[in-house]
């Protein structure tokens, strides 16, 4: 189910729209396949009626379990727009969180070796609002999502700066939007490391990325 466009603000566009990685469904798919295979074997073997009925109930239960999980997958949206980050989930009742791009401080991603092979991982967003740190699991290609968030943050900062400047007397170069210095960002990362929010490896990786931007 795509993210409803009617929920977008005026002049807001979607840069990235994701459902959870297919690994979100893996266990349920395996259980359903096993149940179906067992059911077929039982039917072919012509075993006792009571056993056949029990297997049939198990297949039906596995199908319902998978159906519920698929509904959760299809109604879970992680969206990056030109103005904010949006996470919505829920089949009947809806739950969600929105983080304005200007409040985002740092974006982290984490992948195990197995998750790197699958192209999945976890994403953590440190923001300046009341929500603090938010973590999202089963994100597709989290490193690319991280890069896209930073691109949208830079574009959003540029638009906000241009709006504060107002119309000028004529066309001319636009000054870059003010952003936290690399030193400030490193201090913030070091503080997160000391508080145990991020690991030493994540700190070293992000530090290297920031130093490359200098």
Q: CATH number of the domain at 99, please.
A: 2.30.29.30
> How many separate domains does the chain show?
1
The C-alpha atoms of residue 77 and residue 73 are separated, in whole angstroms, by: 8
pTM of the model: 0.67
Copy the structure tokens of residue 52. 């056949």
- Evaluate whether residue 159 is within a structural domain: yes
- Evaluate whether residue 136 is within a structural domain: yes
Sign for the pseudo-dihedral over CA of 205, 206, 211, 214:
positive
Give the residue numbers spanning the domain of 66.
12-167
Kindly state the average pLDDT of the residues 105-114.
90
Q: What is the pLDDT of residues 120-148, one digit of tens each?
A: 999 999 887 666 788 999 999 999 999 99
The per-residue pLDDT for 51 is 80
- Evaluate whether residue 44 is within a structural domain: yes
- Evaluate whether residue 197 is within a structural domain: no
- Evaluate whether residue 139 is within a structural domain: yes
**Are 110 and 121 in contact, with CB atoms under 8 Å apart?**
yes
* Nearest Cα residue to 87 out of 21, 135, 126: 135
- Evaluate whether residue 4 is within a structural domain: no
Strands 84-89 and 77-81: antiparallel
Kindly state the average pLDDT of the residues 29-43.
91
- In this prediction, what percent of the chain has a pLDDT beyond 70? 82
Q: Examine the pLDDT at 177 and tell me if it is beyond 60.
A: no
- Evaluate whether residue 128 is within a structural domain: yes
């Amino acid at each position: 189910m795509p993210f409803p466009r009617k929920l977008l603000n005026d002049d807001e566009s979607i840069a990235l729209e994701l459902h959870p990685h297919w690994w979100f469904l893996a266990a349920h798919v395996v259980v359903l396949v096993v149940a179906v295979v067992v059911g077929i074997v039982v039917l072919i073997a012509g075993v006792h009626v009571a056993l056949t009925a029990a297997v049939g109930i198990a297949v039906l239960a596995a199908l319902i379990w998978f159906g519920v999980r698929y509904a959760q997958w299809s109604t879970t949206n992680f969206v990056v727009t030109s103005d904010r980050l949006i996470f919505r989930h829920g089949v009947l009742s809806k739950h969600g969180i929105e983080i304005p791009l200007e409040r985002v401080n740092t974006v982290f991603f984490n992948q195990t070796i197995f998750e790197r092979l699958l192209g999945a991982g976890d994403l953590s967003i440190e923001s300046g609002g009341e929500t603090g740190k938010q973590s999202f699991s089963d994100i597709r290609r989290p490193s690319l999502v991280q890069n896209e968030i930073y691109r949208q943050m830079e574009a959003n900062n540029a638009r906000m700066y241009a709006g504060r400047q107002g119309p000028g007397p004529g066309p001319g170069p636009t000054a870059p939007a003010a952003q936290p210095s690399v030193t400030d960002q490193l201090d913030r990362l070091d503080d997160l490391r000391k508080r145990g929010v991020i690991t030493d490896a994540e700190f070293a990786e992000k530090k290297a990325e920031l130093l490359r931007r200098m």
